[in-house]
């Protein structure tokens, strides 16, 4: 498998012609979950892509420490100095970029991690659209205000009942990590009867005949990124060439997944030690046309405009590029 990386991309080789004038960091700390949503980072880790690109760009021998995220507050890890880079949910990224604007450690995106929908499912047979939820229903989301699923549900409510009623379903939300939420939903004995989540959790839930789909976030916001690989403006100022190397490695990982979904499935299965999902099913999930691994941000402006409209964001960026590193400016984002 490693032979695939013997020849680096033309872009990487061109970047290598301009070695950094000032010594940049040779150690990186990256926080990410062991999750299919961050598959490009798992490929980067497994194939040592950052190290390879950094060496080609005259940054020397780079040591990358990958930490498994156990807490949802990745932006705090960045601003607190516990991590140099971290994966952040799109809504949480927008909130952090907005809140940190003008500070010494502004949260900035290196690139998007994946473009995929959140899927709202329920075991309540009476619920066919969001209008059918009642006060006894409980919908699990990772965070009731700062997560992509929660914001997408508010966008759906605004479209269904009018902008002033965006929070009509907020009282039904329960903060719960995806794995225990899925277990509770499937057991039928928990306190929740609906879950707004992502692959592979939604796939597993929908395999149960007692669970059905209500909607997904693409129905509401169109195609959108679900997560961002983020860092701080302070890190980028000290490490501009390294920042370019990281983005290049991310794009190479995306290309690897596109060309080798089966090999990517093997990498995920081995690193996540997930034996519950057959490799064939994992490969099918990775090849799902709704799941696109790309560094180009998608749907960020639509989500940011909504969050600004409801007062969740103080600032309305004129472009998604305002909250991403300069190295990402040529990505075809929106």
What does the pLDDT look like over 219-275, one tens digit per residue?
999 999 999 999 999 999 999 999 999 999 999 999 999 999 999 999 999 998 766
Residue 86 CA: distances (Å) to CA of 35, 123, 158, 322, 332: 13, 34, 31, 19, 22
Q: How many other CB atoms are there within 10 angstroms of residue 261's CB atom?
A: 19
> pTM score, two decimals?
0.90
**Mode of pairing for the β-strands spanning 173-175 and 139-141:** parallel
Taken in order of first residue, the domains within the chain and their CATH numbers are 2-116+225-328 (3.40.190.10), 119-221 (3.40.190.10)
120 φ/ψ angles, rounded to the nearest 5 degrees:
-90, 120
* pLDDT tens-digit series, residues 275-300: 678 899 999 999 999 899 999 999 99
Asked if the model's pLDDT at residue 14 lies above 60, the reply is: no
Tell me how far the alpha carbon of residue 54 is from its chain's centroid. Answer: 24
For the chain, give the percent of residues with pLDDT over 70.
92
Asked if the model's pLDDT at residue 12 lies above 70, the reply is: no
Confidence of residue 199 (pLDDT cuts 50, 70, 90): confident
The pLDDT of residue 200 is 86
Of 12 and 34, more confident: 34
Confidence of residue 35 (pLDDT cuts 50, 70, 90): confident
Rounded to an integer, the average pLDDT of 93-113 is: 96
What does the mean pLDDT of the chain come to?
92
Tell me how far the alpha carbon of residue 116 is from its chain's centroid. Answer: 9
Rounded to an integer, the average pLDDT of 120-139 is: 98
Rounded to an integer, the average pLDDT of 197-216 is: 94
């Amino acid at each position: 498998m490693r032979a695939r990386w013997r020849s680096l991309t033309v872009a990487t080789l061109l970047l290598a012609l301009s070695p950094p004038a000032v010594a940049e960091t040779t150690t990186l700390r990256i926080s990410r979950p062991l999750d299919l949503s961050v598959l490009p980072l798992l490929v980067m880790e497994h194939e040592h892509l950052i190290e390879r690109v950094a060496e080609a760009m005259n940054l020397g021998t780079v040591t990358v420490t990958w930490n498994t995220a156990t807490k949802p507050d990745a932006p705090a890890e960045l601003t607190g100095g516990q991590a140099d880079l971290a994966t952040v949910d799109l809504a949480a990224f927008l909130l952090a970029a907005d809140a940190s604007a003008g500070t010494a450690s502004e949260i900035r995106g290196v690139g998007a991690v994946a473009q995929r929908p959140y899927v709202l499912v329920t075991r309540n047979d009476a619920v066919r659209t969001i209008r059918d939820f009642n006060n006894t229903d409980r919908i699990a989301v990772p965070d009731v205000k700062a997560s992509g699923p929660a914001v997408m549900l508010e966008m759906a409510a605004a479209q269904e009942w009018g902008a002033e009623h965006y929070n009509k379903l907020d009282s039904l939300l329960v903060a719960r990590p995806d794995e225990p939420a899925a277990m509770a939903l499937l057991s039928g004995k928990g306190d929740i009867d609906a879950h707004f989540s992502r692959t592979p959790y939604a796939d597993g839930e929908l395999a149960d005949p007692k669970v059905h789909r209500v909607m997904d976030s693409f129905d509401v916001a169109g195609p959108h990124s679900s997560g961002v690989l983020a860092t701080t403006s302070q890190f980028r100022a000290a490490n501009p060439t390294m920042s370019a190397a990281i983005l290049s490695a991310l794009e190479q990982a995306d290309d690897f997944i596109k060309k080798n979904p089966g090999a990517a499935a093997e990498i995920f299965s081995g690193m996540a030690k997930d034996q519950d999902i057959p490799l064939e099913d994992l490969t099918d999930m990775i090849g799902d046309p709704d799941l696109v691994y790309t560094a180009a941000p998608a749907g960020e402006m639509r989500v940011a405009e909504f969050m600004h409209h409801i007062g969740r964001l103080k600032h309305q960026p004129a472009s998604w590029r305002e909250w991403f590193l300069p190295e990402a400016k040529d990505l075809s984002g929106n």
